[in-house]
């Protein structure tokens, strides 16, 4: 069955620290990969997405993610976090083999200390 694993459930960082959130998926074949963010009390927003081409994808608010096909990974990074990055981050995947259903990881709750 298709699945998405996020390695860290809770992350606490100080401002200006670097961030890397791990994400692995279990699909075979062609995949579309996403990171969504949910700020406290708000709805899901798309941070970035990968469909094809350059495996290093840049998104909004200084986030980027790298697709490593051999590792089935799509880790999210940000060189210097801000207090306003406090949110929950969800990795998600869909694929033709899965009927393009978007499956979400369990989420990583990030808290950035000011």
Partner 1 sequence: SAVISQKPSRDICQRGTSLTIQCQVDSQVTMMFWYRQQPGQSLTLIATANQGSEATYESGFVIDKFPISRPNLTFSTLTVSNMSPEDSSIYLCSVDRDNRQRGTEAFFGQGTRLTVV
Q: Is 103 in the site for partner 1 (CB under 8 A)?
A: yes
Write each residue from 19 to 58 as x if it is in contact with partner 1 (CB under 8 A), else as -, in one continuous string.
Answer: -------------x-x--------xx-x--x-x-------
Residues 6+ apart with CB under 8 A from 15: 80, 81, 82, 83, 112, 113, 114
Sign of CA dihedral 42, 94, 71, 66: negative
| Out of 59, 63, 105, 112, the residue judged to bind partner 1 by CB under 8 A | 105
Residue 101 or 114 having the CB closest to partner 1: 101
The two tokens of residue 58 are 């840049």
Q: Is 95 in the site for partner 1 (CB under 8 A)?
A: yes
> How far apart are alpha carbons 52 and 45 in whole angstroms?
21
Q: Which stretch binds partner 1 (CB under 8 A): 12-20, 55-63, 79-87, 89-97?
A: 89-97
């Amino acid at each position: 069955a298709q699945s998405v694993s996020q390695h860290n459930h809770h992350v606490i960082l100080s401002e200006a620290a670097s961030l890397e959130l791990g994400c692995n998926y279990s699909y075979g074949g062609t995949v579309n990969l996403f990171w969504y963010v949910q700020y406290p009390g708000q709805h899901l927003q798309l941070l970035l997405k990968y469909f094809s081409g350059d495996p290093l994808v840049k998104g909004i608010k200084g986030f980027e993610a790298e697709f490593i096909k051999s590792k089935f990974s799509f880790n999210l990074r940000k060189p210097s976090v801000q207090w306003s990055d406090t949110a929950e981050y969800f990795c998600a995947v869909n694929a033709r083999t899965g009927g393009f259903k978007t499956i979400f990881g369990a989420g990583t709750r990030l808290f950035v200390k000011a």
